[in-house]
Structure 1
Amino acid sequence: MAEGPSISMFPELVVCDPLHRRYILLPPLPDGLVASVERQDDEFLGWSCEPSLIPLSDEEAALVEETTFRVIWSASCKTNMAVFVFSSTTGQWRATASQTWSDLVIDRQPLYFIRRHLVGGCVYWVLPMNNTDLLVLDTRTMEFSIADLPPGQWNRQDIAIVDAGEGRLGMLSTGYGNANGESYLCYTIRQNKGESFGEWQMEKISLGSWYRYRIVGGTEKYLILLRIETPKYLSLSPPIMEFCKLDVRTMQVERMCAESSGFSGSKVCLYADFPPSLLSSPTV
């Protein structure tokens, strides 16, 4: 959560527990780390920064205290991608991976990333249109790599990468078409491990007719979908919008609540499994 106007590349961060209304103010990035990031003249296109909590893997969780958490802060600059990590164990920030776009076999800095996904100890960024790649950061080794998107016609603006179970990676995307107004979910699972995505198994699941779906948030095992009514006949009434939960293991969709903000769920955050260390922290 950034405080005040965006005049700094790295504003103050607060980690919040919305359920118990608790928070922790993280220490600022040391000047030496900030100085290592090349600041561009054009702040809108020259760089972008994105913080997020890193879920612990099962192996990591078994080796650390229950209250441990980490925050990753990525900085996309004109010439390179830099990453900083905060550990609640040390209470400090440290610099990790920093690679140029040419090292990653990317011609130039992407103007933006469509969406970020944290799955199985890795961070995946979907690159813009006309690019068939995913930028991948392994948070265990802090090394970058490039992976290919699976074949097929994907709605790149509405992709989710999830944990498909048994160490497999899954990818979902929504679609809409045909005269019956049918919505569907494209779901593909990587069948083998390795540096590339390897062989995939594609499946298309019907979500019914006269509704459109958008992926607006999620975790490794659940997605939040915004379901928007698309009436068969013209209506003067506003469309019904509601949030639904999708279990990526069973592919079952369950209605959660109505969407009443009028913003089409564009800023939805899913709260799940936050470490209990915040229970002794200040209240909001």
Structure 2
Amino acid sequence: MTAPVFVVDDLGAPEGTGTPGDPRAAAGAPAGGPRYVLEGPEGRHAVSVRRLRPGEEVVLTDGAGHWAACVVLDTEGRDRLVLGRGPVLAEPAPEPRLTVVQALPKGDRGERAVETMTETGVDAIVPWSATRCITQWKGERGVKALGKWRATAREAGKQSRRVRFPEVTEAMTGKQVAALLARAELAVVLHEDPGHPGEPLATTALPTSGDIVVVVGPEGSLTPEELDLFGEAGARVCRLGRTVLRTSTAGTAAAALLLGRTGRWS
């Protein structure tokens, strides 16, 4: 089983590059490296929930691509884990970068979408208040909802052993989404319409670098005005398959398809 991941605020400057899981990247002797004490909520989870013991391996990360392989040396009380820390390494940013623009779903489906997209490997998630969204983020409700999405991305990043967590941006308007699409190497709008089926995402030509941006509309579909706006920004209308997915699952399905085709899952 791969080593569990814990988040710390600052690991210091990286000393090289590497990816967790690659034995060459984690080479060294963490048990004889600098002493590091993991405390606070992360330390409490490691000691009292995970019940880690001396000799077990963990990974520390700042969630921004910096990480260090560590070995448990000892525990202190119920919330302090004493580690031997290996060198701090930087995981290279993946190419191409994948962003999903997610229309706001009802209830907790948004958090489920963020969770599964994070586990799949999406690099950025953009909440979007589409015209036909039943849920709208306004005032304190919007601040709270965005905080939940960001917390979900952090926890899902840890669970899936990522050291570079996805960015969850502020909610965007349709015009802001169009500007994002205009800058992308490949811009895609997932749209289900028997009269205008679009091209299969499974055969769409993909870039090897730059940004891929995928728009997932609301349950009530996109409006003609939104389709025109995104089309003028250079987006291509695509479909996933013959079945119709919920807005909370379409982004994950598209991400899996694209990441497999780009080679990032190799």
Specify if TM > 0.5. Answer: no
Q: Larger strand proportion, structure 1 or 2?
A: 1
Q: Larger helix proportion, structure 1 or 2?
A: 2
| Structure-1-length-normalised TM-score | 0.27
